[in-house]
Structure 1
């Protein structure tokens, strides 16, 4: 499984890169804040909503700790998505 560090994402966003980020946390978790520009699709809704994820060279998956986003990565991989990366440490490692 490919991973990416929160600091790397921040640096790239800071340079103005447009990243494809999917946040798979629940509504109440996202209400506390999320990465600017991320798309919110709770893990349990991925089977119905995965087509909302634009096919891109790189798709970054985010959750609270990295566990659910890892499961999301495996699921999307099974559907043929490429370029998937799991943000290590999840939002617990993301500092404003």
Structure 2
């Protein structure tokens, strides 16, 4: 069960960004990292709070993060960090909570900023 985290590529992420109204892209880096730049449309939920965030009631989640809490079967829940490790941890946590299709953008913000020049 060690490496069963689904991953998404930069190209795949770019293809869904802005096209899917249901996409929830979660940046699990620290506030300091996020303040230096982020992927447009992402919401910030630090890796250590992913479990409690996704265990919230939908109304509470929406009030705190400004987005609808996705259903457990969503195919559009993507986590990312700087280079992939924390994103994989967050994705594993989401899987434990029942988000079986959650995936990790393994390239992270580092790859995104290199490819997008941001």
TM-score normalized with structure 1 length: 0.85
The counterpart of 2:20, out of the listed 17, 25, 41, is 17
C-alpha displacement at 1:6, in angstroms?
A: 1.7
Moved over 3 A (4+): none
Residues 1:54 and 2:57 aligned together: no
CA RMSD of aligned residues (A): 1.6
The runs of 5 or more residues in structure 1 that have no matched partner are none
Between 1 and 2, higher relative CO (CA 8 Å, sep ≥ 6) is seen in: 1
Any gaps of 5 or more consecutive residues in structure 2?
A: 62-68
Residue equivalent to 1:26: 30
Report how many residues are paired: 95
- Specify the SS of the correspondent of 1:49: helix
Alignment CA distance shift 1:57-1:27 (3 Å): same
